[in-house]
Structure formats: C-alpha cells, structure tokens
Amino acid sequence: MTTLFLSDLHLADAQPGITRRFLDFLRCPAREAQAIYILGDLFEYWAGDDDLDDALNREVATALREVTDRGVKVAFIAGNRDFLVGTDFAQRSGVTLLDESVVVNVEGTPTLLMHGDTLCTDDVAYMQFRNMVRKPAYIAQFLSQPLAERKAQIAAIRARSEADKQAKAAAIMDVNQAAVEAAFRAHGVSTMIHGHTHRPADHEHQVDGAPCTRIVLCDWQASRGEYLRCEPGSRTRIALGG
C-alpha cells in the first residue's frame, strides 16, 4: 500500500509551472498509489464551485478524475484558501471531501491529518477572521453574490492578508505548542501530518511523557514541489524539481 500526502500547491494561472508539475504528479506517482491526501490550499483561492468553468479549475478537476477513475482514492481537506470547494467539485473530480481534522490509518499508524491553520492560535487576527468566514450563514451570503464580485472581495482580503502578514512576527504565524499537544491528546494519536505553515520539517514532541511526531508538508513553488510517500515501514519526502 502506498499513500501520498501533499498540500499548499496554491494552483493559479500566474504559476503555470506548478500546475504542470501537479499534472505530471497526477500522471505518474499518483496513479501507482492506493490513496492520496491533499491537505488544503490546493488552489490559490476557490471562489465557489460555479468557478468550475474556469480553464485551470476544469483542467485540474479533469486530471484528478482520471486518477480517481482508476481506483485511486483521493481525499481533500480544505485549506484556508480553498475551503469553499464543494460537492460539485467533488463530483467532477471524484475526490472525497473530508472534515477539517481526521484520523486515518496510515500503514498501521493512526495519523491525524489537518490543514494546520487551526494550530496557529497565536495569530489572533487570523483566528477571528477564520471564525467569521467559516460560519455557514456567512458562506451562504458570500456564495449568493455574483462570481465576479466574490473574486473582487477575495482579492481585497488577499491584499489585506499580505499586508497584515508583513507586520506579524514569524513565530505568530507558526503553530502554538499547546495547540499541537491538545490536538494529539484530543485525537489520541502520536502522529500528525499537516501543511499551511510552509515550514517543512519533522518535529518530535513529548505529550504527557509520550513521544509524538508532527510532519509538516512542503509548499510548492515555481522551482520545486514535494510530496510525502508512506509505504509499509517507510516515510519519504519526494522532491519534484524543474
């Protein structure tokens, strides 16, 4: 059994090299895997499933469908950029939408999967923003607006977010240790995989005296990408360059 994990591709028209690398990934290692977990921020942003007519979105959904049609299980946990991915995308791509935190058995190890933003509790402005925009009523109101208007609002939020991030200390945008420990405890696991922070590393934690491992996935950039491959007895980061 081979299980692959990836996150934070931020697919966008402005980054055709990343899209090409992801489509290559879907052609080759993806089709030989049994399961693939995309842990959020697959897209730079997702304005709603009615944006599936967009050429990039359609190409990605179609390429995913070619993988899922071959019997590969592809699952998606939403990120802070693409939490509006919905059932139309799921149907078109064959991808299963998961809750924001799930425990799955990865080669015999119960493993907590999440995007990772909920662990960044020191980022109070982001947590307040998140609480606001994840409310079903807020989402319904947002989606009731025309697509072009939604995209304009997202651009404004993106600009504000980038400006705010300049003023935030780096540590504030990383995970909070107490939040990490609480997540291990709450889910009764000793292994977790997440993305979001763009700080790829394997961290060892002690939670109530027990060793725990937290694997942070790598974001994809113009020059490189990375996925994590788990097989019986091995866990390997595979770099995708060029």
Residues in touch with Mn ion (CB under 5 A):
41, 79-80, 196
Shortest Cβ 177–ligand LP5 spacing (Å): 16
Q: Which one of ligand LP5, Mn ion, none is in contact with 57 (Cβ closer than 5 to 8 A by kind)?
A: none
Interaction between residue 216 and ligand LP5 (CB under 6 A): no
Q: What are the strands of the beta sheet with 109-114, ordered from one edge? A: 101-106, 109-114, 191-194, 210-216, 201-207
How many residues in the shown chain lie near ligand LP5 by CB under 6 A?
25
* Contacts of 204-211 spanning 24+ positions with Cβ under 8 A: 205/177, 205/180, 205/181, 207/181
Euclidean distance between CA atoms 129 and 41, whole angstroms: 17
Here the tokens at position 241 are 């360059």
Here the tokens at position 158 are 């993106």
Binding mask 117-156 for ligand LP5 (x = CB under 6 A): x--x--x-xx--x---x----xx--x----------xx-x
Question: Please, which of residues 101-120 interact with ligand LP5 by CB under 6 A?
Answer: 117, 120
Q: Which one of ligand LP5, Mn ion, none is in contact with 160 (Cβ closer than 5 to 8 A by kind)?
A: ligand LP5
Binding mask 8-47 for ligand LP5 (x = CB under 6 A): -------------------------------------x--
Any bridge partners for residue 37, and if so which? 5, 75
Q: Alpha helices of the chain — where are they, by DSSP H? A: 16-27, 29-32, 55-68, 87-93, 124-133, 136-143, 147-167, 177-187
Q: Which one of Mn ion, ligand LP5, none is in contact with 12 (Cβ closer than 5 to 8 A by kind)?
A: none
**Cβ neighbours around 16 below 10 Å, total:** 12
Nearer to Mn ion, 45 or 72 (CB): 45
Q: Which residues here bind ligand LP5, judged by CB under 6 A?
A: 45, 80-81, 84, 117, 120, 123, 125-126, 129, 133, 138-139, 142, 153-154, 156-158, 160-161, 164-165, 168, 173
